[in-house]
Amino acid sequence: MKYNILVFLLVVVFFATPNTAQNNDSVKKTPEFSWDTMPLYLHLRKATAFTKKELKFIAKHPLITFEKTTGSITYGSTENGTIKAAEAVKKINPDAKILYYKNVVINWPSYKEDEAFLKKYPEAILLDTKGEKALMPNKRTGFFDLSQEKVRNYWLDHVSKMASNSAIDGLFMDANIKVLVPSFFNSRVGEEKQKAIENGYLSMMKELDDRLGKDNLLVANILRVRPEFKDVGREYLKFFTGSYLEGFDHENFGMTYEDYLVKGIEAVQKSAREGKVIAMSMGLGKAAKTAVAGIDDIRNKVNLNEGLTKRLDYILAIFLVCAEKYSYIYPHDSYGIDRSAVWLKTFPQYEKRLGAPKGYAKKEGYVYTRSFEYLDVWLDIENKQAKLNWK
């Protein structure tokens, strides 16, 4: 009898103990993943309807974010445009996982429900220390005041409604860094108001996770090497299924390029090994003067030549020394596909056999190496060089 009771207690403890390494596997809408070839992510926007050719190309990707303005001209709003695009992709590939883009604080135009909410509650817009509308650097776009409960409730209701659509598998949340790095809002609204906005955001993310976290992908633009962060943004990953990454090999905040990149690689490696979804976005070639380096890398022109191959190999090598299951890469030249030189194009590196990794990456100084079943990766971030030796 004592033996049976002991066995029973052990079984209860076993099933009651959470297995953090498999948290994402329990999410119903986890993206498909394979090491067969390079695991690719897609992040894009187009204000008019996608063509059949474009939809076929989009549907090849396991994880897709439709950015703000998607379909807004053709279908009247970003909400309608995103759903129409998602439904069209799902008809081609029902297994593709699609994220609805919603900024956590910036009042980007083309959202019909945002317009209706602000018409009813104009006080929901954030004001600066002079009592005027606080603005983005473009001097046109404002912010929602997250210190207000009704603003947070509206945002949560809006994204919950969108996520309830059968064609939407989760959310992509942007501008988290602006809320969490005090200097951005301090300069506009003062320290006290900035802290209220930050606290409002944190409570909103907690409720979002409670509402949608079990059944939806929640991907945030959150991992970033910043002096204000205790752990490169990893301290906030508790709210999310994973992180999108941008500006990964550009900023340095007084650090050398290679030391900045080392910190970023280490953070991604830790997060990926914990089972977090990683959606890494990196620019191809040299950005136009008007582009924000490393973010929306609009290009004057991308030449499909040896120089591009060298940069692409370097990007892919950085990704591959970090990647684990549920890691995806998006080398790009603009999120707005109308301005992209590589839209609808593929590269040999995407088609070659990759195979599962044989272990974690090894690091000596600023040189990383890692072996996959059909590929050996060598990466030197100090000299910005990489070799992909396909077997």
* Tokens representing residue 186 in the block: 């301090």
Residue 252 located in a structural domain = yes
* Tokens representing residue 170 in the block: 């989760």
Residue 336 located in a structural domain = yes
pLDDT of residue 283: 86
Residue 25 located in a structural domain = yes
pLDDT of residue 14: 39
Give the Cα separation of 350 and 245 in Å (integer).
Answer: 20
pLDDT of residue 249: 86
* CATH number for the domain harbouring residue 43: 3.20.20.70
Give the Cα separation of 258 and 260 in Å (integer).
Answer: 5
Give the Cα separation of 108 and 47 in Å (integer).
Answer: 14
SS3 at position 99: strand
* Tokens representing residue 62 in the block: 């396991």
Give the Cα separation of 114 and 107 in Å (integer).
Answer: 8
18 near 274, Cβ under 8 Å? no
Give the Cα separation of 258 and 382 in Å (integer).
Answer: 5
Residue 381 located in a structural domain = no
Domain that holds residue 339: 2-351
SS3 at position 383: coil
User: How many degrees, rounded to 5, is the angle at CA 352 between CA 346 and CA 358?
Assistant: 130
> Nearest CA to 84 among 108, 102, 111, 66?
66
pLDDT of residue 333: 83
Give the Cα separation of 7 and 12 in Å (integer).
Answer: 9
Give the Cα separation of 139 and 262 in Å (integer).
Answer: 35
Find all residues with CB under 8 Å of 344, minimum gap 6, and list them.
Answer: 53, 54, 57
In the numeric block, the tokens 């974010």 are attached to 65
Number of folded domains that form the chain? 1
3-state secondary structure 42-90: EEEECCCCCCHHHHHHHCCCCEEEECCCCCHHHHCCHHHHHHHHHHHHH
> Nearest CA to 172 among 131, 130, 125, 219?
219
Cα(first)–Cα(last) distance of the chain, in Å? 59
* DSSP structural state of residue 174: E
Give the Cα separation of 70 and 85 in Å (integer).
Answer: 8
Residue 377 located in a structural domain = no
pLDDT of residue 340: 84
The pairing of strands 367-372 and 362-364 is antiparallel
Alpha helices by DSSP H, the chain = 2-16, 52-58, 72-75, 78-92, 112-120, 149-163, 176-180, 182-189, 191-212, 257-273, 306-322, 348-351
CB atoms within 10 A of CB 7: 10
Give the Cα separation of 178 and 292 in Å (integer).
Answer: 15
Per-residue pLDDT of the chain (391 residues; tens, 9 = 90+): 444 444 444 444 334 433 334 445 545 578 999 999 999 999 999 999 999 999 999 999 999 999 999 999 999 999 999 999 999 999 999 999 999 999 999 999 999 999 999 999 999 999 999 999 999 999 999 999 999 999 999 999 999 999 999 999 999 999 999 999 999 999 999 999 999 999 999 999 999 999 999 999 999 999 999 999 999 999 999 999 999 999 888 878 899 999 999 999 999 999 999 999 999 999 886 655 555 554 555 455 556 566 688 989 999 999 999 999 999 999 988 888 988 888 998 999 999 999 999 999 999 999 999 999 999 999 999 999 999 999 9
Q: Per this entry, what is the length of the chain?
A: 391
Residue 359 located in a structural domain = no
Residue 209 located in a structural domain = yes
Residue 360 located in a structural domain = no
- Going from the C-alpha of 146 to that of each of 138, 235, 271, 297, the distances in angstroms are 21, 20, 28, 29
Give the Cα separation of 187 and 105 in Å (integer).
Answer: 16
Sheet holding 375-380, edge to edge: 362-364, 367-372, 375-380, 385-390
